[in-house]
């Protein structure tokens, strides 16, 4: 972490996650989440990948730590336009394709947000 801080790293993207869904009490001890916590304490944003938890829809593994941004890709021919409004009033339109169990569209974070100065 010292090297990342000295190099003035702002974002760390880790393309892996672990199965913390089956044991909610394990996420504080997960190495990916622990590294994310230490990075967050140094004002570094950490993004990890998520995966499906089994063969059913609406299932994810990982993503329980509140200090880590979990991202998931999907493959869909549909495009649902979503508008995101940032704290400074900036509005960004983007598309997504994920709905929750109630059929509501999930909020999106646009890829440009990570490059904004106030992050």
- Say if residue 16 is in the same domain as residue 35: yes
Sign of CA dihedral 2, 4, 9, 15: negative
Half-sphere exposure of 18 (CA within 13 A, CB side): 16
**pLDDT tens for each residue of 46-79:** 888 776 555 555 555 655 677 887 776 655 555 5
Reported pTM: 0.52
Nearest to 92 by CA among 72, 76, 70, 115: 115
**pLDDT tens for each residue of 95-104:** 555 555 666 6
- Say if residue 60 is in the same domain as residue 115: no
Residue 31 is part of which domain span?
1-73
- Say if residue 61 is in the same domain as residue 89: no
113 versus 8: which is more confidently predicted?
A: 8
**pLDDT tens for each residue of 1-33:** 777 778 888 888 887 656 655 555 566 677 888
């Amino acid at each position: 972490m010292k090297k990342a801080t000295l190099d003035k790293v702002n974002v760390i993207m880790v393309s892996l996650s672990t199965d913390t869904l089956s044991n909610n009490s394990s996420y504080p001890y997960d190495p990916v989440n622990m590294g994310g916590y230490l990075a967050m304490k140094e004002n570094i944003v950490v993004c990890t990948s998520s995966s499906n938890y089994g063969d059913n829809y609406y299932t994810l593994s990982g993503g329980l730590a509140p200090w880590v941004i979990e991202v998931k890709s999907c493959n869909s021919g549909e495009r649902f336009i979503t508008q995101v409004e940032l704290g400074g009033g900036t509005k960004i339109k983007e598309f997504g394709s994920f709905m929750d169990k109630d059929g509501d569209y999930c909020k999106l974070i646009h890829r440009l947000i990570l490059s904004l100065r106030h992050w």
